[in-house]
Structure 1
Amino acid sequence: MNNNELVAKLWKLCDNLRDGGVSYQNYVNELASLLFIKMCEQTGQEDDLLPEGYRWKDLKGKVGIEQHRFYKSLLNKLDGDHHAIVQAIFLNATTTITQPAQLTELIDSMDKLDWYDNDGTGKARDDFGDMYEGLLQRNANETKSGAGQSIPHAR
């Protein structure tokens, strides 16, 4: 799957975020945090970039409120990480996801994506930057058009 296809699938996950009350401006930040952790797993760079116990498998291995608490802890831990790349990505990182089930659904959906190109090769570190830029572009385009704005419903 090429990067454009992955960006489209990742952007589709924003429906989950919007439905859970995450503001439109926070879509990219939420996806980028999770995407970086997932990409470390996919590229085999977890040992180099992420501390033991704060990796995709650790996040995925928890459910519900436990997963949500762990995710907040993970963001805090990576904010103070010694690796410059990790620290830059997670500087002052927080989550606006308030519903644990929403986070679990997002993580499960990301985990099911096909992260490999048609030639069977996985994504490289540069691909994270390309996907992040693609998400930023989608965000800019959607913000300009006003799409994706949540309108409160009367109950």
Structure 2
Amino acid sequence: MSNTSTIVDRIWNYCNVLRDDGVSYGDYLEQLTYLLFLKMDYENVTELGKSSAIPAAYNWDSLRRLEGDELEKHYRDILTELGQGSGLIP
């Protein structure tokens, strides 16, 4: 299976989990978009050596270290903090 197919399958699996938990299409699409933005920024930094405008306390790596309620709270904090700023995308 190609890398693209694997990614698409994983995203659909996440969508199915969210849908089964009662999250609407618009809501889970929005959340997946935010997560993909954080993941893409992380890959730009780690794989391409680019700098990030996202503070380390709110980047993808900060999410990877957490689980459960801590993860959910931190994700909400990230959305709140980054939503108040400007200029994250050059």
TM-score range, shorter chain: 0.7 to 0.9
Aligned AA (1:63): E
4+ long deviations beyond 4 Å: none
Are positions 1:49 and 2:53 aligned together? yes
Alignment partner of 1:74 out of 66, 75, 78: 78
Q: Number of aligned pairs?
A: 84
Identity of aligned residues (%): 32
Q: Which runs of 5+ in 1 are unaligned?
A: 87-155
User: Aligned residue for 1:9?
Assistant: 10
Aligned residue runs from structure 1 range 68-107, under 5 A: 68-85=72-89
**SS at 1:53's partner residue?**
helix
Distance in 1, Cα, partners of 2:82 & 2:9: 27
TM-score by length of 1: 0.48
Structure whose alpha-carbon radius of gyration is higher? 1
Higher relative contact order (CA 8 A, sep 6+): 1
1:46–1:55 contact (8 Å) kept in structure 2: no
Shift of residue 84, structure 1, vs aligned partner: 4.7
Amino acid at match of 1:60: R
Output the aligned Cα RMSD: 2.1
After TM superposition, give the deviation of residue 81 of structure 1 in Å. 2.0
| Contact 1:18/1:24 (<8 A) preserved | yes
**Which 5+ residue runs of structure 2 have no aligned equivalent?**
none
Alignment deviations for residues 13-32 of structure 1 (CA, whole Å, 9 cap, x no partner)? 20111111111222210100
Amino acid of the structure 2 residue aligned with 1:35: L
Output the CA distance in 1 between the equivalents of 2:81 and 2:23. Answer: 22
User: Take 1:61 and 1:41, find their aligned partners in 2: how far apart are those partners?
Assistant: 14
C-alpha distance in 2, partners of 1:31/1:9?
A: 11
